[in-house]
A and B are shown apart, each in its own frame.
Chain A
Amino acid sequence: MGSRTVVVGASVGGIKTVQALRSQGYAGELIVVEAESHLPYDKPPLSKGYLNESLGRDRVNLISEAETNSLGIGLRLGVGAKNIEVAGSEIILEDGGRIGYDNLIVATGARARLSPWEAKDGVHLLRTIDDAEMLRKDFHGAQSVIVVGGGFIGAEVAAAARHHGLEVTIVDPLEVPMGRVLGDSVGTLLIKLHHLNGVATHFGNGVEAITGSKGDLTVELTDGMVLYGDLVVVGIGAVPNTEWLASSGLLIDNGLVCDEYCRAAGQANIFGVGDVARWLHPKRNELVRVEHWTNAVEQAGCVAHNIVNPNNIVSYAPIPYVWSDQYDWKIQIAGETARVADFVFVEDPSSENRFAAVYVDHSDRFCGVVTVNWPKAMIQCRRLLESETDISRPLKLLNDLLPGKAQ
């Protein structure tokens, strides 16, 4: 049977979906439409190795041209989609072209939230590879940078800027920016990590105004303090790219609203994958939207399965997983680490900067884990998150990993 699947968006969600479709035996036509003209690239390195220049462009590719050809993927770069005509099963491109589909994947991701503060120039966002290249270039001509936002992107930008030898200051309205994700205790350790690496922090203090231009920027804080820097990087979150769907009739509410099978609400052949998808998480029984790399990959696998096996579709109930590289800390996070009741800290005394925090929910169940520089501990605990258990099992696993214990 002739069949065509069209994917809108060639970032991780879109590319992993077409790869998974072929892997699972999908034999129909595959077309990927992407507004950007670059060959598909991966985003996590852009704030890490690519920004500090330890990784070259070839390590940022999501898929090679050879693989694109061998899998028979029609890549259409440089022209995005501007609408879906659901009744006629067609997407409409920005240049007016139309592509019909049997299955459609919405994988348009999210974009960096724009800076609400206006300066002449020298204020950067970081989301795309063009953003990363402009920032890298400006790092070379600068001596100081002020980072607005102390979340993942802000912290990683600060680390990369220190790597470039810049003087770095971070600002965030929260007292403990990473506390939002990891709780205040672990979040406080990450503030100390900034200080140990020579970064100044102004937390619990918002930005009132940014003025000036590159090389001579002024950031005024809500408490009246004034900071001066050559550059500013604003990392204040992301916004799902759904504007192009506004007149499609699909349900949009902080993302493309999908059912537990990742199908757009009320649609049998339109699916959402990655940062743009807000789906009904069957275990949490609420709509969730997750901006993590691993989520896009796992969701892509689920959607591919549901397209290839329409009579045996599966719901999507992932255990979240995300990592962050900050200075010499490799931070890995799995499960629920924000809405928790308590946590237990396990340090490896044989290794500086190696520890785990194990979280429990309000029913005393093990619900999440954070590790620093300890991948073995992470994977053992992460696998346990699949089974409902109390905290004794992860704690025993961690203790068994400590030196002097029988393996």
Chain B
Amino acid sequence: MAVIKADLDLCQGYANCVMEAPKFFDISDDGVVVVLVEEFPEGNRSRVEAAVRSCPVSALRIEE
């Protein structure tokens, strides 16, 4: 299954990913992304891709 990867050093806490896909992403108290569910089924792909696309600093990617 495809897996979500987050670069915690790049993340600036903009949280657009949380707006796009709250089931998969949250922001910690320190203001950094938390990937709630790393593996996702194909049916969620376009939602996860929208979240990845919405990151202003390209801190998210999908690993096949």
Contact = CB atoms under 8 A, between A and B. Distances in A.
Interface of A: 16, 19-20, 23-25, 42, 44, 59, 293-294, 297-298, 301, 321, 323, 330, 332, 373-376, 378-379, 382-383, 401, 407
B50 A301 contact: yes
Name the residue in B15, B22, B56, B57 with the highest tally of chain A Cβ atoms < 10 Å from its Cβ: B15
A19 B61 CA distance: 14
Contacts of B2: none
A294 B29 contact: no
Nearest to A44: B56
- Per CB-CB distance, the 6 closest pairs between chain A and chain B, nearest first, are A375-B13, A375-B31, A379-B15, A23-B49, A379-B27, A23-B46
Contact of B15 (A16, A378, A407): A378
Contacts of B19: 321, 379, 382-383
How many interface residues does chain B have, given as a range?
20 to 34
B48 to A, nearest CB: 9
Nearest to B25: A379
B54 A23 contact: no
Given A375-B31, A376-B27, A376-B29, A297 B49 contact: no
B12 A294 contact: no
A294 B54 contact: yes
Given A321-B16, A375-B13, A375-B15, A23 B50 contact: yes
B52 to A, nearest CB: 9
Contact of B53 (A16, A323, A375): A16
Interface in B1-52: 12-16, 18-19, 22, 26-32, 45-46, 49-50
Given A44-B56, A332-B14, A375 B50 contact: no
Contacts of B31: 373-376
A332 B14 CA distance: 8
Given A379-B26, A383-B18, 19 more contacts: A19-B53, A20-B53, A23-B46, A23-B50, A59-B57, A294-B54, A294-B56, A297-B16, A323-B14, A375-B14, A375-B27, A376-B13, A376-B27, A376-B28, A378-B13, A378-B15, A379-B15, A382-B15, A383-B19
B53 A297 contact: yes
A379 B22 CA distance: 11
Contact of A293 (B18, B29, B45, B56): B56
B58 to A, nearest CB: 8
Contact of A297 (B13, B29, B54): B54
8 contacts: A24-B46, A294-B56, A301-B50, A373-B31, A376-B13, A376-B29, A379-B15, A379-B19
Name the residue in A23, A294, A301, A379 with the highest tally of chain B Cβ atoms < 10 Å from its Cβ: A379
B15 A294 contact: no
Nearest to B47: A23
Nearest to B17: A379
Name the residue in A373, A375, A383 with the highest tally of chain B Cβ atoms < 10 Å from its Cβ: A375
A297 to B, nearest CB: 5
Contact of B29 (A25, A59, A401): A401
A295 B18 CA distance: 15
Nearest to A19: B53
Contacts of B29: 376, 401, 407
A42 B46 CA distance: 22
